[in-house]
Amino acid sequence: MYTAPLADMQFLIDDVIDVADTLGSLARFAEVGVGPELTTALLDEAGKLGADVVAPLRRVGDAHPARCEDGKVTIPPGYGDAIRELGAGGWVGISADADAGGQGLPEIYGTAASEIWNGADMAFALEPFLSSGAALAINAHASDELKSIYLAKINSGEWSGTMNLTESGAGSDLGPVKTRAEREGDHYRIFGQKIYITWGDHDATENIVHLVLARLPDAPAGSRGISLFIVPKYLVNDDGSLGERNDAYPVSTEHKLGIHGSPTCVMAYGDNAGAIGYLVGEENNGLACMFTMMNEARLKVGLQGIGASEGAYQKAVAYARERVQGGVAIIEHADVKRMLTTMRALIEAMRALAYTEAVTMDLAHYAEGELRDVQRKRIDLMIPVIKGWCTEVGVELTSLGVQVHGGMGFVEETGAAQYLRDVRITPIYEGTNGIQAADLVNRKLARDGGAAMEATQEEIAKLVTQLEGSDEAGLQRLGRSLSEALAEHVAATQHILGQMGSDRFNAFGGAFDYMMQTGYLFGGWQLGRSALVAAAQLAEGRNVTFCQRKMATATFYGARILPRCKAHAGAILDGATALSDFDLEWL
């Protein structure tokens, strides 16, 4: 059974990142009391909810998939009660404004909670994920009247939210969206069909607030002519009570490889009189409104890769300690130990990167002056790496979890394969990882000539100096490995930047390797930071076993994981034209 890694989380939040110092001075959190006491209280509560309430649902949801009959979705047993308990605990709006039904806490606490929900049951975790995203878009762009009606209800968990972007023929490119909106007084009528709508219908909350992209009759062609609308499942009366059912119904639920407990719906709007919708923001500016929430959403998808990997790791370790082969538990076999240590090192690296950049996200929102601008550029750079790298690694690690189980991993009864099946969607949605890689090199790297990346590389170089000057031999070796990986990354960065000006096809062809190289480098950077903190605590005689493990994990990463950077750099530098040289007719 899944148990949240609370000690690892708290070490990161309070010792490595030091949120009390990093965020405590911001006006936004002046009254919150950010620091170890708050961290302990929140993590303890989230850990209990994850282990006792959510984790037992993982196999239930997998065995009893959500289904749709007669325009109504039935979710797995126990999901509704757990969703309501999550909402009652204030977890949905943990980082939202207090005056809008939220808790007003730093994003890093929402990040830690999100990892726990995903480690316990990823299908379940999608419900609060979509709701908090919908609330973000409404808070940023809706009128005060719409905010007063919908925002607190979503943040409190009483109502849930969805995103309705995709249609048949309109996936990542939303220009061909055909769902239409017609003006009607102070509202609109929405007609059309959306696909892949996560948690599109259920009865776990009183109402569902759909955010729907649609096109007005006189809108410009393409993505410049898309508007965003709130389309509630139930209309809301003037006194705030729920009124009649809106013309928005599920048609079916998808039969998926994984996340069976999550109802992924085909949604029909306006099959009868037309679904009533309310404009969010300005007409024809819907994509900009929807993308307000994309940084947060993509961070949360990266956390799905981390959470599923942690769950798979815990199951694999437990099995390896119990399974005897050759007269000993298989955890003593060199290759099994290799797989488990690889899982642990990469999980800790991913977690450290995601948690660190959750703090960057708050600084980008709430810091002042130049610091705010610098942090905005940094979080923009980091998000495609977190989303892309963490989900690719998540697929690798959950597959290793199956491998540790041997033949039993291929048998559904053990539950090992579910982690792999569930996490496989993460490199696909919220922008495929190919899109994340292209975004990294085009919008995030090329737009400032690599300035934001260079600033990050300089931070890594400073850490290298600290590691190489350490008294610990293992940390010195990590410093040398990190230095080599950094030099390769600088060369690859300059190569990509040069190609963006002269050979964009091959630049984009190398983008995925660059994203992965960046992820492995950044993961080593963050583990190096953690190892230095652990070494300092060890020198003081504190947390001896814990700190020894932290340092050993970082050393392993430097020796066995960081060399992957060289392979990706080679693909970028030495294989620059290999893609364009391969004729399409040969495929």
Catalytic residues: 430
Pair of tokens at residue 388: 């892309």
DSSP percent split of the chain into helix, strand, coil, nearest 5:
60, 15, 25
Residues 6+ apart with CB under 8 A from 553: 341, 344, 345, 348, 527, 531
Pair of tokens at residue 269: 């709007």
Q: Give the type of residue at 332.
A: E
Residue in the structure block whose two tokens are 């099995």: 319
CA angle at 18 for the pair 15 and 24, rounded to the nearest 5°: 150
Pair of tokens at residue 44: 């303890």
Residue in the structure block whose two tokens are 């949360």: 300
CA distance 62 to 360: 35
What are the φ/ψ torsions at residue 229 (nearest 5 degrees)? -135, 145
Pair of tokens at residue 263: 């109802």
Angle between helices 416-423 and 369-404 (to 10 degrees): 140
Element (H, E) at 184: strand 180-184
CA distance 166 to 164: 6
Residue 100 half-sphere exposure toward CB, CA atoms < 13 A: 25
CA distance 400 to 91: 31
CA distance 166 to 538: 52
